[in-house]
Amino acid sequence: MPAASPPIPARLPASFQAEERSFIKQAVERFYGSDAIVRNYGPDPDRLDLHVETDVDPSMERYDCLGVLLTRIDRDRVSLEVTKRGTKVRGNAKLAYRQGIIL
């Protein structure tokens, strides 16, 4: 049996300016409420990868919030993952929980 490869080291998320941080938090709170938790988990400074954990069922608010973020944030790519509290975490949301930084 071949030997297992070592785990991939965690990478720190890219940082951004204070005014971008406050705009992101305000935009997310507008759509998901003040109890929503926002995590930045993308290591590439040219891309913005965000995860939102909320009590609201994820639906079309995700696209509305993403549209608002795209109006002010100047990045090559902006992605937004939304997870309802208490549901099973899948895909990029797992990465956000493991190495993301709460805004």
Residue 69 makes CB contacts below 8 A (sequence gap 6+) with: 24, 27, 48, 50, 78, 80
Average pLDDT over residues 70-85: 88
Instruction: Note whether residue 43 is domain-resident.
Output: yes
**Structural domain of 22:** 18-102
Q: How does DSSP classify residue 21?
A: H
4-58 tens-digit pLDDT? 878 777 778 888 888 889 999 999 999 998 999 999 988 888 888 999 999 888 7
Mapped onto helix, strand or coil, the DSSP state of residue 28 is: helix
Instruction: Note whether residue 79 is domain-resident.
Output: yes
79-103 tens-digit pLDDT? 889 999 888 888 888 888 888 888 8
Instruction: Note whether residue 3 is domain-resident.
Output: no
Question: What does the pLDDT read at residue 51?
Answer: 92
Instruction: Note whether residue 52 is domain-resident.
Output: yes
Instruction: Note whether residue 76 is domain-resident.
Output: yes
- Rounded Cα gap, residues 72 and 78, in angstroms: 11
Q: What CATH number does the domain containing 34 carry?
A: 3.30.460.10
Question: What does the pLDDT read at residue 27?
Answer: 92
Average pLDDT over residues 64-71: 90
Whether pTM > 0.85 for this model: the answer is no
Instruction: Note whether residue 12 is domain-resident.
Output: no
Question: What does the pLDDT read at residue 45?
Answer: 85
Instruction: Note whether residue 7 is domain-resident.
Output: no
Question: How many structural domains are present in the chain?
Answer: 1
